[in-house]
Structure 1
């Protein structure tokens, strides 16, 4: 079954945002009309009765409608501001605990290794990991506004009850949400639902207030009538609040269901093991995935791997398709095999059994899969070791690899992690070690004397200052492993770097710039490093780039600069560069205005400005640019390190996660 590509899914996520806004406005209009109807019956009198549509346009009606809209908007705005902290704020909201990257817990290490493998294989920074310690159900979700600041939250039940393959299937599902832009939509949906539910919360408050007042000292009959009126209004608003809950769940279902099916399919594509995610879903059917220790379970329902809240009218309002349907969509007949396998170990169990009827750990018996912490299942990885200068298979466009996990990238990730010395890897999990890595990447090729001179440029600081002891451990490892480790090491260090406060982030980027400027020239890797840090640690790191351009015409100067640089980087003579540039620009040149000539020189500042402009294109226009760049770097049948780093720079700055092209 063919699945839509990364760029189509990104465009779909943006369309879903528009759908979400339309559904929200519809719900606001209907809730406002319902409240106005209550206000109409409360304020009308026999002497001055107006028809409802006339009352709606009267002073009372307009004030009532305005107050309702203001309350809903205020409720959504308050939650929107509260969630401005991105994924980490959502994780804290549900009481999740950040997992120490250097954790000694075997289950947490298993999760960390799975996530690191998939992050390196897909070309995205490693998400920060959280666990909900008190949740025994099996569930997970990702949150954040961009892939660079995403967090992955799992329940304790998920990491303790799932085998490695099943947990990998869940992680692949959640990575699909990162690639597809679903996270941003999900966080916004939480904020919009908060406003819709505001009226019901006010009704509950008024109802409690009226009952509280009625139990106080005796009052006049006039006061009693006022209390009764408040109670009636409270009951009416509470009923309308349940209408808001209904609309909120309906919106969740409308936006979420199809995306969950797509994420299931993507997980199979990433892991090449349908039994992994199917087994995880099967265990959810047996044990449940409800979040019982947080009051936000209902708010989070659309974000989670499985249903997180119990509700009535499940067939209509569930944010996820039924478990049986999801398993059968993954692979026909899979559900029958899982049931049969379970009957062999637990004869009385079945998929529809309640959680209480399933003993802890009973489903682990049918996995038949090793729970090894580090080693992935070998039967899925049969491709040979990728050479140090490899190209995509013939006929494969680079744009088709964006936002995916392929076998070569996964093999590369597994081998790379296995080659990293334990001390080196452990340092990447600390703030001090991650900072020193940034410095080590810039000085590792210099002589010891030059390294010492460069580090003297860094001012002393408890975290950001140079640490000779740490550099002595990092630099030799970088040299022995080779240049291919540079970007993966940065990805592994990102959770620690994100723990720096804004001032420390600014100081780190300032120190990196000092090291880059020390020799009065900027290499492609130095540009890639500084751009990567700016993109993922800068003030706008959590803000998604809005679509500014829906055609190539406004960005032609940017295209000219980018492809001129790539054509010259991919050839050794000016004649070949002109020919390659002409081929790469063929799909973009406007024949009515003539061809754009190849540029003799492109400064690093011009390149950075060009990439910023190109990131403002509609997602559906980006594949052609990725493919044109790919044509430049693969035309000679090989990709060297310089070309890969330039390609990685382009992809990262255009928010296109690029799997490793070399190993």
Structure 2
């Protein structure tokens, strides 16, 4: 049976939206009642005969309550619309600078290398990287609505103060948030908090407009104006105090949503890197030096998203979005705090040691890896040995086990990523980091297997354009690199080029996709790889690439036609005769439809039909997606082997279903 860990965590993350909505509704209700209570006392002289619960249903009460709810709703909707741009908009909100793919800064290159290794090992397109240059503290976060459009932001202090192992631990922690589906709820929580805090912000404005203005004009204003301004100031003060109710509930919501996921992400980091001291050392340095974000006014909004606490607050034990640092380190490995403190004592004067992490590691926590691979609510634990050496599935590599690989980083996939990147020619790799080189790569991927004369003829079909026209000399270097590397590198090199391709403006993206379509159709047929390439680019460079995809279907029945198109394509790709294709198609469809035995294999599937089918299948509940992936896998593994073209088709389906698949 397929391990549902990744998909179950995705479903759990989506269910958290319901919890978030309930907490938000409670906060709005209490804030509204508090403001209405203030309004009741202000208008009591006029309606003194009414008790509060009756006043609440009067015109005054209904108008006050409606205004409060409307203001909170408007505040949330404005921020929600503002963050519709996805992770890149969050990065701009906090003033982070995009790290260019071809950066020459040694610290930034080290971060990029670590991120690329983790991305290739997990099957996630390389995220855009940002740095908060004015932040000396150690912190990081990821943002976005899907794994394919994620961005990662790190502070300048993290780049300077963490060694490679520690930075790798932080990156692995953040990748777990990408794979566990945490980013979507994190971004939405920012929008909801903006509405909750709206009343306090209005109170602050009225307070300044009342008391400060009345103080500066007291010699010029009439007594009536002064009293009016003073009353405005008092109302503002009352709203500001009520606003702290919103702040309290905002922090409470952050803590409720974030704490358990941070412990899960820490455990995932240990599983991914098999180096507890990496993330442990990073946490230890945060405990000593802090990770607060002081250069942005949005530090408190981002608290639940960050690797460590980003904002100072009172009542930390109750309202903190993260468990205490020492508790997190102890959970990673018992005794690690003492070892790290002893190591620091050997290299620095004891007077410099912070007391925040004092005390011996006393809590014995085990079974870290099982928290990652079991349902999110599980409290089971493993030994520290298991955390260092996660076990691979022992079953055969047929269809029933392929979905188990989704959203995981194994020892083999990580070793493959490191070795593959080290063997990639430096010049070839550098070209992927430039806009021009990434564009030419898309063209080279479609012509490198053709004779040289056909390569030139096909590239000549593309229209002239200042930045998108084919450049023969540059394309030839990439073609030679692809020919020497082999077919198996096509998807990994495309993922390396994604940060550069994302720098294209919307019109350039549309034109690039049109050019790729034209090259693919040059021989009057679309191969499986060409189909995969076009779909991949449209998925990640299309106009709605960064928008969230809602769950629309919780049963297979509404998408049976889409499944027939998809599995028909896989059945034909994995067999050589129509009889074999029909047999394989019926076997793959058996778990989805009672009419599977009577269904016929679709004779052909157009590119448009495939896109529509995959788009609808992506709206399935996460718990329904593993069966789709395993049915596709049944078609490509029925003969006991997976060809490159079949694996690329599997990667296409997994990518379109927001299910990152590591290399086989």
Rounded Cα–Cα distance in structure 2 between residues aligned with 1:34 and 1:328: 42
| Deviation of the 1:519 alpha carbon | 0.8
Rounded Cα–Cα distance in structure 1 between residues aligned with 2:520 and 2:451: 16
Q: Which ranges of 4 or more aligned residues in structure 1 deviate by more than 6 Å?
A: 380-384
Name the counterpart of 2:97: 97
Of 550, 572, 584, 1:546 maps to 550
Of 649, 654, 657, 1:646 maps to 649
Instruction: Report the count of equivalent residues.
Output: 629
Name the counterpart of 2:328: 326
Does the 8 Å contact 1:214/1:227 carry over to 2?
A: no
Structure 1 residues 349, 140: closer, same or farther in 2, change over 3 A? Answer: farther
What's the TM-score, normalizing by structure 1?
0.91
Structure 1 residues 383, 28: closer, same or farther in 2, change over 3 A? Answer: closer
Name the counterpart of 1:290: 292
Within the alignment, does 1:630 sit opposite 2:633 as a pair? yes
Within the alignment, does 1:614 sit opposite 2:617 as a pair? yes
Structure 1 residues 520, 394: closer, same or farther in 2, change over 3 A? Answer: closer
Partner of 2:350: helix, strand, or coil?
coil
1:31-46 aligned at under 5 Å gives the runs: 31-45=31-45
Rounded Cα–Cα distance in structure 1 between residues aligned with 2:390 and 2:79: 48
Does the 8 Å contact 1:135/1:292 carry over to 2?
A: yes
| Deviation of the 1:329 alpha carbon | 1.7
What whole-Å deviation, never above 9, does each CA across 1:48-81 have from its counterpart, x for those lacking one? 4311111111111111111111111111122222
What whole-Å deviation, never above 9, does each CA across 1:86-144 have from its counterpart, x for those lacking one? 21121122111111211121111110000011111111111111111121111000111
Within the alignment, does 1:590 sit opposite 2:594 as a pair? yes
Partner of 1:301: helix, strand, or coil?
coil
Name the counterpart of 1:505: 509
Structure 1 residues 100, 381: closer, same or farther in 2, change over 3 A? Answer: farther
Name the counterpart of 2:416: 412
Rounded Cα–Cα distance in structure 1 between residues aligned with 2:242 and 2:335: 44
Structure 1 residues 266, 354: closer, same or farther in 2, change over 3 A? Answer: closer
What whole-Å deviation, never above 9, does each CA across 1:343-368 have from its counterpart, x for those lacking one? 3334626975369xxxxxxxxxxxxx
Within the alignment, does 1:565 sit opposite 2:569 as a pair? yes
Name the counterpart of 2:259: 257
Within the alignment, does 1:30 sit opposite 2:30 as a pair? yes
| Deviation of the 1:382 alpha carbon | 13
Rounded Cα–Cα distance in structure 1 between residues aligned with 2:257 and 2:540: 28
Structure 1 residues 508, 151: closer, same or farther in 2, change over 3 A? Answer: same
Structure 1 residues 119, 28: closer, same or farther in 2, change over 3 A? Answer: same
Of 268, 271, 278, 1:269 maps to 271
Does the 8 Å contact 1:339/1:350 carry over to 2?
A: no
Structure 1 residues 601, 80: closer, same or farther in 2, change over 3 A? Answer: closer
Name the counterpart of 2:136: 136
Rounded Cα–Cα distance in structure 2 between residues aligned with 1:523 and 1:545: 28
What whole-Å deviation, never above 9, does each CA across 1:355-391 have from its counterpart, x for those lacking one? 9xxxxxxxxxxxxxxxxxxxxxxxx99999xxxxxx9
Structure 1 residues 382, 189: closer, same or farther in 2, change over 3 A? Answer: closer
Name the counterpart of 1:488: 492
Structure 1 residues 354, 257: closer, same or farther in 2, change over 3 A? Answer: closer
Rounded Cα–Cα distance in structure 2 between residues aligned with 1:241 and 1:399: 47
Q: Which moved more, 1:514-523 or 1:182-191?
A: 182-191
Does the 8 Å contact 2:4/2:626 carry over to 1?
A: no
| Deviation of the 1:339 alpha carbon | 2.7
What whole-Å deviation, never above 9, does each CA across 1:521-562 have from its counterpart, x for those lacking one? 000000000000000000110112211111111112222222
| Deviation of the 1:333 alpha carbon | 2.8
Rounded Cα–Cα distance in structure 1 between residues aligned with 2:389 and 2:417: 12
Rounded Cα–Cα distance in structure 2 between residues aligned with 1:393 and 1:325: 38
Rounded Cα–Cα distance in structure 1 between residues aligned with 2:84 and 2:653: 28
Name the counterpart of 2:65: 65
Partner of 2:490: helix, strand, or coil?
helix
Within the alignment, does 1:214 sit opposite 2:215 as a pair? yes
Does the 8 Å contact 1:166/1:277 carry over to 2?
A: yes
Rounded Cα–Cα distance in structure 1 between residues aligned with 2:46 and 2:101: 71
Structure 1 residues 184, 314: closer, same or farther in 2, change over 3 A? Answer: same
Rounded Cα–Cα distance in structure 2 between residues aligned with 1:6 and 1:280: 26
Partner of 1:494: helix, strand, or coil?
helix
Name the counterpart of 1:177: 177
Name the counterpart of 2:350: 348
Name the counterpart of 1:108: 108
| Deviation of the 1:490 alpha carbon | 0.9
Rounded Cα–Cα distance in structure 1 between residues aligned with 2:446 and 2:125: 19
What's the TM-score, normalizing by structure 2?
0.91
Q: Which moved more, 1:484-493 or 1:522-531?
A: 484-493
Structure 1 residues 440, 238: closer, same or farther in 2, change over 3 A? Answer: same
Within the alignment, does 1:518 sit opposite 2:558 as a pair? no
Structure 2: 5+ residue runs without aligned partners?
358-387
Name the counterpart of 1:127: 127
Name the counterpart of 2:360: none
Structure 1 residues 352, 18: closer, same or farther in 2, change over 3 A? Answer: farther
Name the counterpart of 2:478: 474
Name the counterpart of 1:657: 660
| Deviation of the 1:574 alpha carbon | 3.7
Does the 8 Å contact 1:300/1:308 carry over to 2?
A: yes
Does the 8 Å contact 1:383/1:408 carry over to 2?
A: no
Rounded Cα–Cα distance in structure 2 between residues aligned with 1:577 and 1:594: 13
Name the counterpart of 1:581: 585
Does the 8 Å contact 2:8/2:623 carry over to 1?
A: yes
| Deviation of the 1:336 alpha carbon | 2.9
| Deviation of the 1:288 alpha carbon | 1.0
Name the counterpart of 1:449: 453
Within the alignment, does 1:527 sit opposite 2:531 as a pair? yes
Does the 8 Å contact 1:75/1:198 carry over to 2?
A: yes
Partner of 1:95: helix, strand, or coil?
coil
Name the counterpart of 1:336: 338
Structure 1: 5+ residue runs without aligned partners?
356-379, 385-390
Rounded Cα–Cα distance in structure 2 between residues aligned with 1:561 and 1:82: 37
Partner of 1:302: helix, strand, or coil?
coil
| Deviation of the 1:395 alpha carbon | 9.1
Rounded Cα–Cα distance in structure 1 between residues aligned with 2:180 and 2:47: 60
What whole-Å deviation, never above 9, does each CA across 1:165-214 have from its counterpart, x for those lacking one? 11111111111111222112111111111111111111111111112123
Partner of 1:29: helix, strand, or coil?
helix
What is the RMSD computed on CA atoms of the aligned residues?
Answer: 2.3
| Deviation of the 1:627 alpha carbon | 1.3
